[in-house]
Structures are given as structure tokens and as C-alpha cells.
Amino acid sequence: MDAAGAILGFTVTLMVLSYLLGDNALYRLAIYIFIGLTAAFVTIITIETVLLPLTTSTGGVILLGVAAFFGLLLLLKPARNGVWLTNLVLAFLVAVGVAVALVGALTGALLPLTSATIQSVDREPLAGAVMVTGVVTSLIYFQYLARRGQNGLTGNNPLIAVLRTVGQGFIVVALGTAYGLAILSGLTIMSGRIAALLGGGI
Amino acid sequence: MTPNDPPMPDDFDWMNDPESELPAQDDALGFTHELDWRQPQPDAAESATPPDPEWFDLDDPESEEIADWLDDGLSDAQPDWANEKPDDAPGRTEAESPESVGSGLTEDLFDGTIDEADKTLFAEDPEPLEPDLPPDWLEGFADDEGLWSADDASDAAAYATDPADWDEPLPFEASYEEMATEFPDFDEDLPAMEGAAADGQRTRDDVPPAPEMPEADADPLEDEPAWLASTDTAFLRDVMATGPDDDLDAPEEPSTGELLEGLFDDLVTPADDDELTYIDTSLGSGDIEALLDDLDTDDLAPMQDGSTVDPNLLAGIDDMIEGPGDRAMFDADDLVAWDLEDAVVERPDWLDAIDDMPDVESDRNAAIAALAAQAARIDADGDDEIPFMAADYGALEIAGDDDGFELPDFPDLEIDEDAAHVTDAELAPPDTGELGAPDVEEVDFEQWLNDDIETFGDVDELPEWVRDLQAERDDNSAAAIVRARYEDRPIDELDPRLQALHERGLLVGEAATDDLPPFEGEAGMAGLAFGEVLGESELDHEAPLDADEEHRRGLVAAILAGGLAGVALNAASPPEGDAEAAFDGVTDIAEIGGGAADVLEAPPRGRLVPGLGWRRPRIARLVIALMLFGAVLLPLLLNLRIGEAPPAVFASGGPAQAVFDAVDRLAPGATILLAPEYNLAAAPEMDALLTAVVQHSAERGAQLIVTGSNPLGIQHAVARINEIPGARIAGIRLLPGGAVGVREWLTNPAALTADMTFAGRAPRTLEELGAVVIVTDGLDGFRPWAEQIGPAVTAPVLVASAYSVYPMVAAYLDGGGIDGALAGYRDGMTYWRLLGMPFGPTATDTATTTPTATATVTATPTTTDTATATETAVPTTAVPATDMPAPTREPGQGTAGAAAGDGTATGLATRATRTARPLPTDTATATPTESATPTPVPTDTATPTTTPTPTDTATATPTPTATPTSTATPTPTPTVVLVPYARIIAEVSVNIRAGAGTSFQIIGIGAPGESYRILDESRDGQWFNIELPDGGAGWLARALVEVIELPETTPAGGAAYPAIRLVAQQSGAAEPPPVPADSRYEARWSAMTAGLLAVIAIIVAGVIQAIIRQLRQRRKR
């Protein structure tokens, strides 16, 4: 069984890698299989771990009924006269999701990061100064306001231009770092996959 | 009658002149020369007796027709009403002015069509009616100016329409009896209203059959729509009955089917073939509705095209409604005010929105509001541009939202007889007249503004605001705004990419200028447009044809060459690459420099693949892939070692060390919330981290709740965890809904853990968690935990992330919601080493694991990590002495850990105890033994307090002062046994009592899923004596629990220590084997390193190539 799995995995891996030669039937077949299996698996997991447990209690059944009702409303999407019901449900989902994310972003990310940026100056003056400089100049880089002169031309304040350039430098470094790490992740996965095909461990 | 008409002679007795009937008859009936059935017979001209009055022009074809008609004998049957004078005829009184003549007789004679009854009236009227028109009782409804109000006309029409209602109170608030009393002629006039007697002596059916009429090519009466013959046409008849009866100046082209079509377009818009959904209430009334109720839309088609029904039969209708000049019977206000109370429509919501608009002060605003409503409707169909356009006109105010397009909901308009009545203010935009309530269902907004002006007739009839919108639209589109922003912007201020494109365009033009024919015609226009994009953003848009001729030729050449080349390349590329291929075609021309001819003559690149067209092999992509594959494969195949292995320890004080410390501090039985938020594709990277953390937590005796929003991640992680000896999963919980699902842990954690099996007390709140561990390969899976759960828990939040996510994860450190972070495979391998998991000793390790009595360390200059660790080798985590079995060391044995730079006491202590991975077994009934026996392992077995003295020179030789803290004092080690626990299986909380019976006092509450160690059971076996968390005892009913076996976690000596580790120590591993070197991981690490080097090489090569290319291009320029 393990051998069969290894052979199957090897074959599917090669099929996926065949995309290097361009879009082809083997690649698409592998992708379709993966997506199909994933969708089926997610469905099973959802049914087993989410839906079925709800049926064991009255409250769960009520909740399931509400969810089913919302699901049915989503099915009205193709109906021209019923699309507003679908939008109602989607609006609810989007609003809740956005509200949750917004609260999380503010309380968990923005405010703490702002505080951390400020505090970094106290902890490590040099590194903190660099951090503050990077944050401020990066923000300045993303402003596009300019005053139009009498000659019809637009121009930035020289100081702003300099700060934008500095901010651009920080952004380049940050994006470059992220890009490099993304490559490293890719290499990790690649090496792991090849090692697995060759019989190695994780 | 127009002012230019000749005046009537003073002595002309038109009242008694038969010919004088002609004008009234002609006007009332709307007859024209186009009426087929009235066409003169061959001999009519000879027998005609032209009327004498000057206003009757013999040369006028209409007059001739009338004369011919009269010669046919109809004059004998003329009713007396026809003696009415023209308005400008002598003796005409004001009361007899045409405006005041709302004659029911006229209406009777013409009820929208000429039917048999009408003809009969002319042919033989047995009892000619009195010529006292209009009836005085009707005249009483005229206003001071002799004009009928709209309501009066409607009432009269309704009255005359349905004789059956005569027994009912008349619609104008006067009963039949009252009318008859007030107006003596009322009874006599009533028959004239409808051709039927009020007393029932005479009805329409009593009218003698019509005589045979002159033959025409086709009898239009046969094609008369049924609805026109019905009594519901009262509205139209009424309209015509109130028209000017002296109208001799009917348009030369009197009302036609087109005008009628326009009328009905205003009246009704069929939603489909057989359903009428909307009435334009600006013209609406109950009469219209009654008419429409019987209207079969099948009748509309022939009416509109005029193919089967002579539209002239309906002449006069338009004159009444929209007649030219002063002959118009109603203006917009009249129509709107006309019996709006009877207009039955469902009030649309957008009307409310219009009412709520704060600045509805002008027609334009109201119209814009209506447009915005339509735009919202269109947007629901997926067209985003229209709302944008509407928004540009300020219509956003309709919804009070400046940021979005939340326009009011716009339900379909439907006829609803039960709907509340509306007022004119609600239904009609102020003073616009033409607009009315827009038909949101059928009107295509864009087409409306463009071409479909037939709704309004000619262009000149378009409302002004529509013309304004048409004129301004182009200046308000998204593209226009963007264009305007860049139009007058100097090139040097443009984005560098746009500048490059500009230069490239100029280059293309220069390259191809000489190779193509002169600029001509439409191609020149296209070339100019292309030039705007490529090279000439400063072209004068007002005078594009004045652009430089030579330059235009170049641009045309570029277009032709680039376009054709693009087409050729597109054919050789997959469909999704069209745009790219087209651009490549242009740029290739620039590089060739020889103009378009070379490109045009060049054969398509690639090879022709059947079914796929021309395909170009992606050589560069293949070369890069092969380089990467080779770099990664070689170390794996040849067991090459490239680069330096990950360090043996984490940087002290770093986020990775924080993770290790947090897990190492877990109390036995602690619960970890583990969220594997990663996909299978990232498993090769994430599994290393997952395995390390889970292994560590298992050794600490912790239990796991595997949860998250990624079912694949959960399933995969569970599979991996099950392979880890000692790891225990208390429960699994999928959280559907992403961030919303994760939030469930904040709102109802007890419910999520209800069906889980815990060793010990189940965590009811997040405060009771030992740690939260997130293993993620993406920011989306990480943020909900860090942003929502992180601030809400006191337990450490630890993250194990992929390299690609780590920069974002690191931002959440230092108060951002997480307490520690691991990054990628590298940290995973270091973690393994700290755990003593199989990972081959590095060269440094090998060099330093040689036991030496002096514990001399030779710090290799290249091992910077070691040096760093040594410098900061201050134990940051004080592990309680009772938690750790004191590592023993034979005197004289080397302090390998210190030599390796394991600067932290934690790391050393951990390593010292992980000489073998424990294997839990049910038969593990270890007995306390003393670990007095030293463990002479050449590897880490000591816990020295290193105080190295780092130096900056490569030859530094730190001299650690290894002070072993271990003693040979035997440490009583606890036993690990599987003991019975009572797990509550009830769905609700249960009582814990002081005795074995319900009569005993309740001393506690047990939650579902909680487990308590069983100390004893009652004699009858129905109660279990359990151990409470506070050390006390209580009783649980047996029926409420199930008996499970869990490892005993409390050491006999009273010190808490992971039972699983003790099992290992008691299982005979008195001398743990050395950590085996596993070359597989080293090989993989080398493969990653080689691959990274290859990537760097590829990037550098690409940059060099780009630089060379740029230099070559500059040289050419």
C-alpha cells in the first residue's frame, strides 16, 4: 500500500511539474483530481464535524435550520427577482466577517504595532530610529497629493520627494525580504517533496 | 383654425348651412384625406358641391374629401350638433367656443374608431338630437375660461362609459336625480353621451345597422382591435370629445400609428408578451387602467406597425394629448393631476428616496435621482460602469452614502389594485413632464442615453437633462477621468513604466516610418489613437488631424507591424497570452530596428501543434527549472553536504527560543490549542515545525485540542500527531467560517470542548489553556488567531510559520498578540536538535562531543551562531529543579553541550533528558528508581553554567567554567500507571456530592467531558468516589460517567513531571543511546541550500542580462 501510494504520489507530482512545459492535459488532470478530492474531503469533514454534531441537540437543530434557510436563500442567486434575498445573506456574512476582522486588526495589529513602533525607540534607540524612519517614509511614499503650479505642472516638495525616495528604499528592502523568504519556502517544499519521492523523511 | 385662415363672411349663416358641418365633423372625427374608406369615388368630384365660405378652400384636399363625402348622401343625416359654428364664424358666442364644447354627441359619434354605429348615426338618425351643445349640466363643469378640467372630463367619460352605473351616484358628487332636477335637459342629453337612453328605451344595440359603406382596399373595421371597440375606450373618446371642434388645421400628417405607439409607450410598457406591469402615471387614470385591463398586447403590434389597421382611424388622439401649439388640450400638469387618485400602482421605494433627497430643488436633481435608481438596477445585473456614472452626477446623495453605491432597492413595478394611492408629487418629477416614473424594468439606461430616443420622439424633444447627460457623459466616465489626469501631465512626471512605454512607442515609430505607405483615411485615425497611447500623450485632442504627417506615418507603420505581428504571435500563444504577445510583437519590432517588413515576413515562432496552434517552447523557463532541479537533486542523490547546518540552539531571547521555553514550561496535563492552518502543499515545510512542537508538548505531558478553519490542515496534522509517540489529542474541532469560526473560541469555548476527552479537568475558558500554537503557511490562517484569540488569552500564543509568512508574523511579536515564533524548516531542525530528535551531529558537534576532562572548547571561527550563543549564554529560563531530573555527569566527561554553545540552561537540560524518544505503553508500570547512575554519554549530559568569554578573534578559545549543578543525589522518580478515570458523559453538568447518594450535599459541579480520577466506588457500585482538583474527594453517579484509563501524571514524590519521559527513563534506558546521525535531513538541508544558491545565481544572471539589454538599446538610440 505504501509503495502504491509512493508511486501514485510520484506520478501525480510529475504531472503537476509538467506545467513547466506549459499548460497540458496531464497538469490539468492532476489539478482537477486534487481539487475534486479536496472539495469532497472538505465536504465530508464539514458534515461530520460541523453539521452532524448539531443534530444532537435542540439548539443545534435550530441553528442548523437557520443555516439551511440561509443556504436556500443563496440558491436564489440565479433568480432575478430573488437575488436580493441572496444579497441579504451575503451581506450578513460579509458584514460579520468584516466586523470581526476589523476589530481584530485594530486591537490585535494596528494599535499594538503602533505602540511597538514607538516603544522600539526606547528599547533599542538605533534600531528603533530605523524602524520609525522606515514606517514614516513608507507611509509618505504612498501619498500622491501634489500641488499644481501656475504653469500647469505638478510637483512635490523637495523634502517630500526625498522622504518618498527613502520610503521607497525601505519598501524595496521589505518586499525583497519577503520575496526571498517566499523563495525559501518554495525551495523547502520542493526539496521536501523530492526527498519524499526519494524515500527521505520530512 | 389658425389665425391665418380667412375670416368668415359676416352674412354667412353657417348654422343653417349643411356644408358648415364639415369643419366640426372633420375635426371631431379626425378624418383626413388618408382615410381609405373616405376616399372619393370616381365620380365624386363631379357631383361635389364645394362649400362657399372662404374658409372652405376648394383647393384643399381635405375640403374636397369632405365635399365628396357629403355628396354621398350623408348630409341628409347630419345631426343638429353639426350646425355648430366655427370659432371664428360670425355669431359665435364664447360659450360655443371650441374649447368649451365637450360634447357628448361628438364623443358619441366618435368613440375612438368609426364603427357601424357611428355611420348609422350619420345615415339615419330617427330622432336628431337637440343642437344645444354642450349640455348645460356639462357646461357647468367648465371653468371660468370655458375649459374643462381634467377631473371633469374624466368624470364625464366615466359616466358615459358605463351606463350600468347610472343608478349609482354620479362620479361628480351629484346623483342622477339631482342632475335631472338641476338640469332639465339632462335626460335628453344622456343618450347623446353614449348613444343609449338613460331610461333604457334605447341602447347602442338599438341603433339600426349601418348602411353599406363604400368599398375600400381593405376594411379597416375588420381589423379594429377589440379593445378599441370596447366601452373601456371612454378615456380616448373623452379626450377627443373635448377637443377643438373647429380644427381645420389638423396636421398634414395627422396622427399615425407612430404617434399612437408613442402614446402607448407612455401608457404602458409590457414586461413580456402578455403581461402589463406598469402604467406611466403621468398620464394615468382609472380610465386608462380600465382600458388597459382589456388590452391585449397582441393588438399593439399591428397598431404599431400599421400593417393591418389604418392608424388614421385613431386620428385626433394625439391632437388631444400632445397637439401642436395651443391646440394641446392638456399640459403636463393637467395630465399629472388627472385623476391620480385612481392611478393604481405600487409605490416604488425610489420615490421615497427621491423625497428624502435633501436637495431636490430642480428637475435635474430629480431626474438624476431617477437615473441613479435605474443605475442601481442595472448594477444589479452586473454593470458597474453605470452606477459609477450616475455617482458622478451626485446621485449618491440619494442614499446618503458618500463612499459606496448603496442606492435604494428598486422592486419591480406591478399593477396592484390594492396598493395605496399616490399623489402627483410622488409620481411625477417636478416639472419635467416628459420623464414620469421611469420604467426600471424595461428601459435600458445606457441605450436610453445613446440611441433610444424614440421614447421621447425627436432629439429636440428629449428632456434637457437627458441631453446634458449625453453631453457630459464622456467627460465623467472612469476612463475619461484617468485620461484627464494624465492628459496634461508632463512625461517626466509619469510613472517610469509609462515613460518607458512612451519611449518604446517613439522607437517603434522611428523604426517603421520608412517602410510603410503614406498615412491615409481611417488607418490614420487609428494611428493617431495609437500614438496617444504609445508616444504622444500631448497630442491636441481638439485637432487630431493636424498632427505631424510624418509622425503619423510612423505610428501607422507601428500599428500595422505591431498589430500583424501580434496577431501572428497570438496565434502561437495560448489565448490568455494575447495581450502579452501583442506587446511582445511591438517590442520585438523595436529591437529588430529594421521596420515592420522583417517582422511581417518572419514565419511564426515555435511549431504548429495540432489543435493548439503555434506553440513556442519556453526555453528560459525550462532552463531555470532544470537548474533548480539539478541543484536540489544533487545533494540528495550524491549525499553532498553544502552549507552549514542549522544551529544547535536558538538565539537566546529570540522568538524561537520563546516558543521552546513556553512549551517547556507547560504543566503536565496542560491543554494546548493547536491550530494547523496550512495546506497539504506546504506540508514539507510545516510538518517539521508541527512535529517538533508536538513532540515537545507530548514530552511535557500536555494534551492537544486540534482545531482550525482548514479541514485539510487538521486532518493532515492529526495524521502526523498520531505518529508521534506520547502525543495525546483530547479533541478535534473544525471551525467553519474562517475568522468568524475562530471567534467561536472566544464566545463559547465550553461548548467546543464538550465532547472532548481530557485527562483531568476540561478547560472551560480560554484562561485555562496552557498554550495556543498556530502552525500556518499563510497570513489568512494566522491573523484570526493572533488578532482575536491572542489578546483574549493569558496563555502564550506561539506561531510556527513558513518562511514566506514570517515577516508578517514577526510584526505581531512584542505585544502584537503572539509571544513566540518559529520560522521555516531551519527553526524546525534546530528544535529537533534541542529535543534530541534524530538529526546528524554537525561538524561542530562532532568536534566538541569528545569528552574531555577539561571541557575545553575550541570555538570554530566559522560557527558564528555558536559564538553568538556563547556570548549570550545566560540562562533565561529557570527551570525548576524539581521539574528536571538532574543530569549526571561522570567526572571527567566533557561538557559537550557547553562546548557546542548551548548557552541556555533550558536547552541543555532538555537535551540532557532526551536521549531517546519515549514510547508509551500500556504495560508501563514503571517503578521508582533512582538515577544515581551516571550517564556517560558522549553527548549532552551535563548542565553546566557556562560563562564563556567570547573574543572577537577567530582564534578565541573560550574557556567555559563548567559548573555542573547536577548532583548524584538520587531523585525519586514517579511511576506512570494507567489509572481509571470517570469521564462525565452527560450532556449537562452533573452534581458532585459528598456521599454516595443523592441525599448527600452537593459539593461541586462537573462539566460534560471532564474526567476525574476514581478513588473508589460505593458498595452497590452506583457511585464513584473521585478525586477533586483541590485534592478533596467527592462522589459521582456511575450512570453519568464512563470509565476510562489515563496515565497517572502526578509523580509519587509529589513533583510534577511528564509521565511520558519517566516511562522512558524507567524503561531501562539507563544509558540512552547517542542521538543517531540522520543523513536524510542533512541531505535535505543541503538540497535547500543548493537550491537557494541556484536561485541567487539565476536572479543575478537575469539582472545582468537586463542591464546588457538596456545598454544595447541605449546604444541604438
What average pLDDT does range B929-946 have in this prediction? 38
Q: Which residue has the higher pLDDT, B197 or A136?
A: A136
Minimum mean pLDDT range among B527-541, B722-736, B759-773: B527-541
Q: Quick check: B685 and A189 CB within 8 A?
A: yes
Between positions 537 and 596 of B, the ones with CB within 8 A of A are 574
**Is B827 part of the contact surface with chain A (CB cutoff 8 Å)?**
no
How far CA B143 is from CA of B96, B158, B335, B885, in Å, comes to: 14, 19, 17, 113
Nearest residue, CB atoms, A185 vs list B409, B804, B811: B804
**Which residue in B910, B972, B960, B966 sits closest to B934, CA to CA?**
B966
Q: Please list, in sequence order, all residues whose beta carbon lies within 8 angstroms of the beta carbon of residue A10, skipping any fewer than 6 positions away.
A: A197
Which positions in chain A touch B632 (Cβ < 8 Å)? 187, 190-191, 194
Nearest residue, CB atoms, B380 vs list A83, A178, A184: A83
Q: Quick check: B682 and A152 CB within 8 A?
A: no
pLDDT at B802: 93
Contact criterion met (CB below 8 Å) for B571 and B614? yes
Cα B758 from chain centroid (whole Å):
45
The 3-state secondary structure of B167-222, one letter per residue: HCCCCCCCCHHHHHHHCCCHHHHHHHHHCCCCCCCCCHHHCCCCCCCCCCCCCHHH
Nearest residue, CB atoms, B734 vs list A46, A100, A188: A46
**Which residue in B936, B932, B945, B725 sits closest to B835, CA to CA?**
B725
Question: What DSSP element (H or E) covers B290?
Answer: helix B286-293
Q: Quick check: B712 and A38 CB within 8 A?
A: yes
Which positions in chain A touch B790 (Cβ < 8 Å)? 108
Residue range B795-842, pLDDT digits in tens:
999 999 999 999 888 888 876 678 999 999 889 988 988 887 765 333
Q: Which residue of A has its CA nearest to B829?
A: A202
What average pLDDT does range B443-468 have in this prediction? 49
Most confident of A193-197, B415-419, B472-476: A193-197
Q: Quick check: B812 and A20 CB within 8 A?
A: no
**Is B407 part of the contact surface with chain A (CB cutoff 8 Å)?**
no
Q: Quick check: A189 and B681 CB within 8 A?
A: yes
Q: Which of B618, B814, B822, B1085 to mutate to test the interface with A (most CBs of A within 10 A)?
A: B814
Which positions in chain B touch A202 (Cβ < 8 Å)? 684, 687-688, 691
**Minimum distance, in Å, between the CA of residue B924 and any CA atom of chain A:** 29
**Minimum distance, in Å, between the CA of residue B632 and any CA atom of chain A:** 6
- Residue B703 predicted with pLDDT over 80: yes
Q: Which residue of B has its CA nearest to A78?
A: B381
Contact criterion met (CB below 8 Å) for B432 and B412? no
pLDDT at B184: 61
Q: Quick check: B817 and A108 CB within 8 A?
A: yes
pLDDT at B321: 44
Which positions in chain A touch B811 (Cβ < 8 Å)? 109, 113
Residue range B1074-1084, pLDDT digits in tens:
444 456 777 88
Query: Mean pLDDT score of chain B, rounded to an integer?
Result: 56
pLDDT at B936: 40
Q: Please list, in sequence order, all residues whose beta carbon lies within 8 angstroms of the beta carbon of residue B535, skipping any fewer than 6 positions away.
A: B502, B505, B506, B508, B509, B555
Nearest residue, CB atoms, B807 vs list A181, A195, A201: A181
Q: Which residue of B has its CA nearest to A80?
A: B381
Residue range B152-211, pLDDT digits in tens:
444 444 444 444 444 444 444 455 566 566 666 656 655 544 443 333 333 334 434 433
Contact criterion met (CB below 8 Å) for B527 and B519? yes
Measure the CA–CA gap between B196 and B186, rounded to whole angstroms.
13
Most confident of B66-70, B266-270, B894-898: B66-70
Which positions in chain B touch A83 (Cβ < 8 Å)? 380
Handedness of CA A169, A174, A179, A180 (dihedral sign): positive
C-alpha cell at A140: 509618505
Q: Quick check: B777 and A185 CB within 8 A?
A: yes
C-alpha cell at B167: 343608478
Measure the CA–CA gap between B801 and B782, rounded to whole angstroms.
9
Measure the CA–CA gap between B858 and B650, rounded to whole angstroms.
20
Between positions 153 and 172 of A, the ones with CB within 8 A of B are 153-155
pLDDT at A76: 84
Q: Quick check: B733 and A154 CB within 8 A?
A: no
What average pLDDT does range A147-166 have in this prediction? 77
Measure the CA–CA gap between B43 and B60, rounded to whole angstroms.
18
Measure the CA–CA gap between B271 and B438, rounded to whole angstroms.
14
Which positions in chain A touch B412 (Cβ < 8 Å)? 81
Between positions 696 and 725 of B, the ones with CB within 8 A of A are 711-712, 714-715
Most confident of B76-90, B95-109, B1035-1049: B1035-1049
Which positions in chain A touch B712 (Cβ < 8 Å)? 38, 41-42
Q: Which of A103, A110, A202 to mutate to test the interface with B (most CBs of B within 10 A)?
A: A202
**Minimum distance, in Å, between the CA of residue B877 and any CA atom of chain A:** 21
Contact criterion met (CB below 8 Å) for B401 and B436? no
**Is B736 part of the contact surface with chain A (CB cutoff 8 Å)?**
yes
pLDDT at A87: 87
How far CA B241 is from CA of B25, B134, B342, B612, in Å, comes to: 11, 11, 21, 74
Between positions 86 and 105 of A, the ones with CB within 8 A of B are 96-97, 100-101, 103-105
Which positions in chain A touch B493 (Cβ < 8 Å)? 153-155
Measure the CA–CA gap between B614 and B344, rounded to whole angstroms.
65
C-alpha cell at B442: 424595461
Measure the CA–CA gap between B897 and B904, rounded to whole angstroms.
10
Measure the CA–CA gap between B1001 and B1018, rounded to whole angstroms.
16
Q: Which of A47, A100, A115, A165 to mutate to test the interface with B (most CBs of B within 10 A)?
A: A100
Contact criterion met (CB below 8 Å) for B357 and B397? yes
Contact criterion met (CB below 8 Å) for A167 and A141? yes
Q: Quick check: B687 and A153 CB within 8 A?
A: no
- At B72 the three-state DSSP class reads coil
**Is A115 part of the contact surface with chain B (CB cutoff 8 Å)?**
yes
Q: Which position has the grid cell 513531571?
A: B1057
Label residue B612 by pLDDT band (50, 70, 90): low
**Is B1088 part of the contact surface with chain A (CB cutoff 8 Å)?**
yes
Nearest residue, CB atoms, B636 vs list A115, A187, A200: A200
pLDDT at B22: 40
**Which residue in B688, B752, B700, B769 sits closest to B728, CA to CA?**
B700
Measure the CA–CA gap between A121 and A128, rounded to whole angstroms.
4
- At B675 the three-state DSSP class reads strand
Mark out the alpha helices in B806-960 (DSSP H runs): 806-810, 824-835, 843-848, 864-871, 896-899, 905-913
Whole-number percent of chain B with pLDDT over 90? 6
How far CA A14 is from CA of A6, A23, B628, in Å, comes to: 12, 13, 15
Q: Which of A48, A55, A189 to mutate to test the interface with B (most CBs of B within 10 A)?
A: A189
Q: Quick check: B804 and A184 CB within 8 A?
A: yes
Q: Which of A49, A85, A144, A191 to mutate to test the interface with B (most CBs of B within 10 A)?
A: A191
Which segments of B877-989 are extended strands (E)? Answer: 978-984
- Taking phi first (over 0 means left), then psi (-120 to 50 degrees means alpha), and beta for anything else, what does residue B736 get? beta
Which positions in chain A touch B987 (Cβ < 8 Å)? 57
DSSP B148: B
**Is B310 part of the contact surface with chain A (CB cutoff 8 Å)?**
no
Phi/psi at B368 (5° precision) = -65, -40
Label residue B462 by pLDDT band (50, 70, 90): low
Minimum mean pLDDT range among B9-18, B919-928, B938-947: B919-928
Beta bridge partners of B822: B800
- At B812 the three-state DSSP class reads coil
Which positions in chain A touch B685 (Cβ < 8 Å)? 185, 188-189, 192
**Minimum distance, in Å, between the CA of residue B457 and any CA atom of chain A:** 31
Q: Quick check: B618 and A107 CB within 8 A?
A: no
Confidence (pTM): 0.43
Most confident of B377-381, B418-422, B547-551, B613-617: B613-617
Residue range B646-677, pLDDT digits in tens:
888 888 888 999 999 999 888 888 899 999 99
Which positions in chain B touch A154 (Cβ < 8 Å)? 489, 493
**Which residue in B605, B600, B603 sits closest to B515, CA to CA?**
B600
